[in-house]
């Protein structure tokens, strides 16, 4: 865990009205999410898009990032603020588009890791005090199993949750989404912190040490997916997502693979352990 994030979440970095630091922690978590997922990932796509000149891309960086990086610097992420200032100054001097793209990709990877640690330690248990009055309060999309993506035999991989002693086998969608799967395969093996979804239902996810803008051929609504579906969300931090039960979200997400059905009970145990 980065020291600056630790200092923010423990109140060591003393910012917050009325001698409390939760509001600062809340702001940092939310702004990091938006800065990484919804600012710098679209900026990376823009730098890769030759319809935009490098001059135009650099102007967009300053216009869209500064409000995030400057406020987060004040909120305790001073190292990130310094990096943001440095990359903003560097990009107009980059020798080529490729050099600029690699710099943006590296900074985005750094932001994704900050966002991952911030999410992991955020006190989500506060939500126990804000529950629905009735179960019917949950808004769920109607699942349509007929829309499920069928994965042909792809490359096998193993997922292991060492603290629980659980290991499973999955097929990657190497025929359906070959470019996306290849980006992940190139990064294997890796170890990441496991987190649980906080809105969509019985899914768990982890930020991968990958920054992929690969072409995606096949997506699937989350609510339609089977237990064991593995998704990959490029636009929300490059997360590997494992579905272990019912999911309410109707947003379509790139299909990465599927854990074999015989491991359904195992991944349910993992999901509940992560949630609790």
Q: How far is CA 11 from the centre of its chain?
A: 25
Give the pLDDT confidence score for residue 152 in this predicted structure. 86
- Which of 232, 241, 229, 248 is closest to 274 using CA atoms? 241
Give the pLDDT confidence score for residue 226 in this predicted structure. 96
Q: pTM for the whole thing?
A: 0.93
137 pLDDT higher than 60: no
Give the pLDDT confidence score for residue 201 in this predicted structure. 92
> In CATH, what class is 145-273?
mainly beta
Residue 137 preceded by cis peptide, ω within 30: no
Which backbone phi and psi does 221 adopt, to 5 degrees?
Answer: -60, 135
* Rg (the chain; Cα; Å): 20
Q: Which helix (H) or strand (E) holds 27?
A: helix 22-35
Mean pLDDT of 43-54: 98
How many whole angstroms separate alpha carbon 206 and alpha carbon 48?
25
How many whole angstroms separate alpha carbon 96 and alpha carbon 273?
47
Mean pLDDT of 112-132: 93
136 pLDDT higher than 70: no
132 pLDDT higher than 80: no
Q: What is the pLDDT of residues 164-198, one digit of tens each?
A: 999 999 999 999 999 999 999 999 999 999 999 99
135 pLDDT higher than 80: no
Q: What is the pLDDT of residues 8-25, one digit of tens each?
A: 999 999 889 999 999 999
Give the pLDDT confidence score for residue 130 in this predicted structure. 85
């Amino acid at each position: 865990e980065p020291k600056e994030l630790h200092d923010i979440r423990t109140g060591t970095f003393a910012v917050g009205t009325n001698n409390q630091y939760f509001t600062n922690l809340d702001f940092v978590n939310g702004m990091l999410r938006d800065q990484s997922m919804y600012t710098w990932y679209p900026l990376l796509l823009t730098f890769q898009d030759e319809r935009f000149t490098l001059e135009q891309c650099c102007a967009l960086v300053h216009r869209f990032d500064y409000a995030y990086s400057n406020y987060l610097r004040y909120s305790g992420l001073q190292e990130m603020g310094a990096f943001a200032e440095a990359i903003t100054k560097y990009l107009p001097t980059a020798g080529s588009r490729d050099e600029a793209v690699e710099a943006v990709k590296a900074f985005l990877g750094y932001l994704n890791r900050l966002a991952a640690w911030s999410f992991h330690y955020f006190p989500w248990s506060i939500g126990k005090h804000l529950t629905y009055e009735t179960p019917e309060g949950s808004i769920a999309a109607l699942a349509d199993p007929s829309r499920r993506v069928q994965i042909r035999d792809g490359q096998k991989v193993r997922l292991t949750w060492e603290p629980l002693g659980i290991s499973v086998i999955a097929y990657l969608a190497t025929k359906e989404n070959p470019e996306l799967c290849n980006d992940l395969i190139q990064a294997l093996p890796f170890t990441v912190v496991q987190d649980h979804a906080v809105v969509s239902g019985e899914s768990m996810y982890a930020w991968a040490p990958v920054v992929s803008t690969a072409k995606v051929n096949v997506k699937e609504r989350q609510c339609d997916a089977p237990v064991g579906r593995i998704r990959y969300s490029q636009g929300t931090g490059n997360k590997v997502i494992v579905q272990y039960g019912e999911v309410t979200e109707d947003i379509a997400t790139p299909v990465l693979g599927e854990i074999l059905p015989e491991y359904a009970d195992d991944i349910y145990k993992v999901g509940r352990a992560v949630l609790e």
